[in-house]
Amino acid sequence: MTTVRLACPAVDQTGWTALAEALAADVRRVSERLRHLSQAQLAAPAAPVSPTGAGQGYDSRAQAGRVVAQVLADTALVLEAAAAGTAPDLRRLPELGDFAVGDQVAVTGHDVLAAMEQVRPDTQVAADTGERATPGPTAADVVAGATRLLADVRRRL
């Protein structure tokens, strides 16, 4: 499973609220954009945003949506596990048809927003090492990483 973890500066409760608002806005933008694309547009490549072509591209816009939906699902599970004091049980999202990818982004994004209400920004969350969970980044780090990926995908659409 893919969870984006990038360190971010310490986030207080006000910053946590601002991060949630930014995430909610981008979830809405990306999911609506994906819902309004035609089959041909969903199948078209989502190239790197950089004019030099640097960075990862996606085979299709639908694939970019699936990647971000998986990261959002993993982020929600990591936050929920931290709130419960358990190790995260990361699961693979089902690969649905291209027309469903906007809904997957919306649902998984809202799952993150709900999970954010259960933890503080400085809560240590488990990092999945493939074999066992170990202490890792903070909740704010994980959410900020997912938010950056979502913003990147938004720019590609």
| pTM confidence score | 0.85
- C-alpha closest to that of 133 among 67, 78, 60, 70: 78
Whole-angstrom Cα distance, residue 47 to residue 80? 33
CB atoms within 10 A of CB 18: 12
Q: Which CATH architecture has domain 13-156?
A: Up-down Bundle (1.20)
The domain limits of the chain are 13-156
**DSSP single-letter state for residue 131:** S
pLDDT digits (tens, 9 = 90+) for 15-43: 999 999 999 999 999 999 999 999 999 99
- C-alpha closest to that of 80 among 68, 90, 67: 90
Give the list of residues 6+ apart from residue 45 with CB closer than 8 angstroms, or none: 57, 58, 59, 60, 61
pLDDT digits (tens, 9 = 90+) for 31-84: 999 999 999 999 999 876 655 555 568 999 999 999 999 999 999 999 999 999
pLDDT digits (tens, 9 = 90+) for 114-139: 999 999 999 999 865 444 555 679 99
Q: Are 136 and 127 in contact (CB under 8 A)?
A: yes
Tokens of 16: 């946590």
